[in-house]
Amino acid sequence: MTQDFVIHLAQNAVMLVLILCAPILGIGLFVGLAVSIFQATTQIQEQTLSFIPKIVAILVSLILFGPWILNHLVEFTYSVIVNIPKNL
């Protein structure tokens, strides 16, 4: 394996992780912001109120985006396995 191949592979892996995590983190951020605004307006300072909605939203987003994430991971793994013999 050449150094360029390893660097290119690492760059693609990091970029793929950022792309795949973005929707889930965005939904978690949005729900967290909404819960924080709700807590600030109602002055309810319950600890579980801030965690339970985020956990539920992230689980739902994993169910919704799971096939898309898995498809991208399989494509990336396939391209890595196919390109390794070419770069030995």
For each successive 10 residues of the chain (88 residues), what is the average pLDDT?
Answer: 85 95 94 91 82 93 95 94 82
pLDDT at residue 48 in the model:
79
pLDDT at residue 3 in the model:
86
pLDDT at residue 85 in the model:
82
pLDDT at residue 86 in the model:
80
pLDDT at residue 12 in the model:
94
d(CA 19, CA 11): 12
61 closest CA partner among 24, 33, 35, 31: 24
What angle is formed at CA 75 by the lines to CA 16 and CA 85, rounded to 5 degrees?
105
Q: Considering the entire predicted model, what is its pTM?
A: 0.80
Structurally, the chain folds into a number of domains equal to 1
What is the domain extent for residue 83? 3-87
